Amino acid sequence: MSRKEKLVKRFKMKPADFTFSEAETLLGWLGYHRFDKGKTSGSRVIFKNELHGDIVLHKPHPNGILKQYQIRQLIEQLEKEGLI
């Protein structure tokens, strides 16, 4: 099983310790590119994909662990697009 497959499997299990960094890696593998709007964007990060639209995530701080609702929403959107 590849690193990508392991990460997708872990992600779909909705772990309580899934980090923003892991989500960023996963989205990168799925063809998304991180886009920061500069100094005014704050903790909001946009991941752009020309074929599947944009995903906006709030970068959690200080620990970097995504909230469960963020994981659920991300899973829903990626499954809807047929990416996972």
pLDDT of residue 44: 85
Q: Interior CA angle at 71 toward 12 and 78, to 5°?
A: 65
- Give the model's pLDDT for residue 47: 94
- Given a cut of 50, the residues of the chain with pLDDT beneath it are none
pLDDT of residue 75: 95
Give the pTM. Answer: 0.87
Closest CA to 12 of 80, 66, 84, 65: 84
